[in-house]
């Protein structure tokens, strides 16, 4: 009982600071569970994305939730409003704390989802996070996308700013964005919960991420939570890596 009490106090303390979300970038459940077991005492959130979810389905999500772990289901819903709204109910019934949908899916998609969540009799509601521009995009790559929509002058910063405006006006409580746009978002929309991927500890390989910062830089710019995957999952000493990141953002 005493241990549980102090764990809750620690979680509450973390909620007021920058939280750490660990991307379980694995193909199989046993790999993910092995890492979770190593990190069990630490106040972290586990992110389950497309690869692991397609491998394990809802079972792994429910297993982790049942064991008291906080889960971020990152499937980036993008479909007609009715489909996404119903998918969000399935995510809620699994007990996840966060899930993602693309802001570019439009107002009806976002608001239908939020209304469905609100009408549900389930008390614990997940936070719907609107995805802005992927952190794998650099300006040159983004220009190719912008040209497809006839917007040659649009850049990542302008796009993220417009999407954040939409997210705030449509009632989405949080947004996924790069740390490079974070200061602007925090200034204009201080109530948005901001989740920042593309985080790389010092001396880490950037891999396929383009717009990256360190954990400390993201924290200093006001990130509500940071997402770290491969620097942890591919580390020889994941526990030490996570402890180092936590000390950096606390």
Q: How confident is the model at residue 207 (pLDDT cuts 50, 70, 90)?
A: low
Q: Give the 3-state DSSP-derived string for 7-73, with helices as H, strands as E and coil as C.
A: HHHHHHHHHCCCEEEEECCCCCHHHHHHHHHHCCCCCCEEEECHHHHHHHCHHHHHHHHHCCCEEEE
What confidence score (pLDDT) does residue 3 get? 42
Write down the catalytic residue from 76, 125, 158, 165. Answer: 76
For residue 58, which of 89, 23, 22, 20 has the smallest C-alpha distance?
89
The neighbour count for residue 140, using CB atoms within 10 Å, is 8
26-40, 69-83, 174-188, 190-204: segment of lowest average pLDDT? 190-204
CB 155 within 8 A of CB 139: yes
For residue 237, which of 35, 8, 18, 27 has the smallest C-alpha distance?
35
Predicted TM-score (pTM) of this structure: 0.85
- The whole-number average pLDDT for the span 132-153 is 64
Chain segment 72-103, per-residue pLDDT in tens: 999 999 999 999 999 999 999 999 999 999 99
111-120, 168-177, 178-187: segment of lowest average pLDDT? 178-187
CB 46 within 8 A of CB 36: yes
What confidence score (pLDDT) does residue 9 get? 43
Question: What rounded mean pLDDT belongs to the chain?
Answer: 86
What confidence score (pLDDT) does residue 2 get? 42
Q: Is 76 a catalytic residue?
A: yes
Paired residues of 193 in beta bridges: 174
The neighbour count for residue 23, using CB atoms within 10 Å, is 22
Residue 115 has pLDDT above 80, yes or no: yes
Residue 5 has pLDDT above 50, yes or no: no
What confidence score (pLDDT) does residue 127 get? 97
Q: What is the CATH number of domain 15-245?
A: 3.20.20.70
Alpha helices in 71-195 (DSSP H): 81-94, 107-119, 139-148, 156-170, 182-188
What confidence score (pLDDT) does residue 201 get? 83
């Amino acid at each position: 009982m005493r241990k549980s009490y102090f764990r809750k106090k620690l979680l509450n303390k973390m909620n007021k600071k920058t939280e750490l979300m660990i991307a379980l970038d694995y193909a199989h459940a046993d790999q993910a569970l092995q890492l979770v077991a190593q990190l069990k005492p630490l106040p972290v959130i586990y992110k389950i994305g497309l690869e692991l979810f397609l491998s394990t389905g809802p079972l792994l999500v429910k297993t982790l939730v049942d064991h008291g772990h906080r889960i971020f289901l990152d499937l980036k819903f993008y479909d007609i409003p009715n489909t996404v709204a119903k998918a969000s109910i399935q995510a809620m019934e699994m007990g996840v704390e966060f899930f993602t949908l693309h802001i570019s899916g439009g107002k009806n998609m976002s608001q239908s989802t939020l209304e469905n969540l609100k009408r549900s009799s389930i008390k614990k509601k997940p936070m719907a996070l609107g995805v802005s521009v992927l952190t794998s995009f650099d300006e040159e790559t983004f220009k190719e996308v912008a040209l497809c929509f006839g917007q040659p002058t649009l850049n990542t910063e302008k796009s993220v700013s417009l999407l954040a405006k939409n997210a705030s006006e449509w009632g989405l409580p949080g947004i996924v964005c790069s740390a490079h746009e974070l200061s602007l978002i925090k200034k204009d929309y201080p109530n948005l919960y901001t989740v920042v991927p593309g985080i790389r500890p010092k001396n880490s390989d950037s891999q396929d991420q383009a717009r990256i910062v360190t954990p400390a830089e993201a924290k200093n710019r006001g990130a509500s939570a940071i997402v770290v995957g491969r620097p942890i999952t591919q580390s020889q000493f994941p526990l030490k890596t996570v402890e180092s990141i936590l000390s950096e953002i606390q």
